[in-house]
Amino acid sequence: MGLLKVSYLVTLTSVLWVVLTTLFPNIFPGYYDHGDMQDKDGYLYSAYYNSINTPSILRNNLTNSHIFLFTAHPDDESMFFTPTITELTKENYNNTFHLICLSNGGYDGLGSIRERELRKAAKVLNIDSVKVLNYVDDINVYWNVSDIVKSITDEIDDVKREYDFEENGSLILLTFDQDGVSSHPNHKSVYQAVEAYNKLISIRAYSLKSWNIIVKYSGMLFTNVEVAMKWLAKCDELQKYLRQINIHLPDYVTADTSKESIAIYSDLNGLFLNFSTMTWVHFSQIVWFRWIWIFSSKYMNSNELVPIS
Distances (CA, A) of 29 to 40, 49, 72, 75, 223: 17, 8, 37, 32, 20
What number of CA atoms fall less than 13 Å from residue 280's CA on the CB side?
11
Q: What is the pLDDT of residue 244?
A: 73
pLDDT in tens, 48-79: 998 899 999 999 999 999 999 999 999 999 99
3-state secondary structure the chain: CHHHHHHHHHHHHHHHHHHHHHHHHHHCCCCCCCCCCCCCCCCCCCHHHCCCCHHHHHHCCCCCCEEEEEECCCCHHHHHCHHHHHHHCCHHHCCEEEEEECCCCHHHCCHHHHHHHHHHHHHHCCCCEEEECCCCCCCCCCCCHHHHHHHHHHHHHHHHHHHCCCCCCCEEEEEECCCHHHHCHHHHHHHHHHHHHHHHCCCEEEEECCCCHHHHCCCCHHHHHHHHHHHHHCCHHHHHHHHHCCCCCCHHHHCCCCCCCEEEECCHHHHHHHHHHHHHHCHHHCCHHHHHHHHHCHHHCEEEEEECC
Number of domains in the chain: 1
Q: Please state at what angle helix 185-200 crosses helix 145-163, rounded to 10 degrees.
A: 60
pLDDT score, position 306: 96
Closest CA to 300 of 99, 83, 12, 86: 83
pLDDT tens across 115-137, in order? 999 999 999 999 999 999 999 99
Q: Which domain holds residue 233?
A: 2-307
Q: How far is CA 33 from CA 51, 101, 253, 261, in A?
A: 10, 36, 17, 21
Q: Which CATH number does the domain housing residue 136 bear?
A: 3.40.50
CB-CB neighbours of 228 under 10 Å: 16
Question: Cα dist. 279→78, 166, 220 in Å?
Answer: 9, 39, 19
pLDDT by 10s per residue, the chain, length 309: 577 777 888 899 999 999 999 998 888 765 677 878 899 999 988 889 988 999 999 999 999 999 999 999 999 999 999 999 999 999 999 999 999 999 999 888 999 999 999 999 999 999 999 999 999 999 999 999 999 999 999 999 999 999 998 888 899 999 999 999 999 999 999 999 999 999 999 899 999 999 999 999 999 999 999 999 888 777 665 566 667 777 666 555 555 444 578 999 999 999 999 999 999 999 999 999 999 999 999 999 999 999 998
pLDDT of residue 116: 97
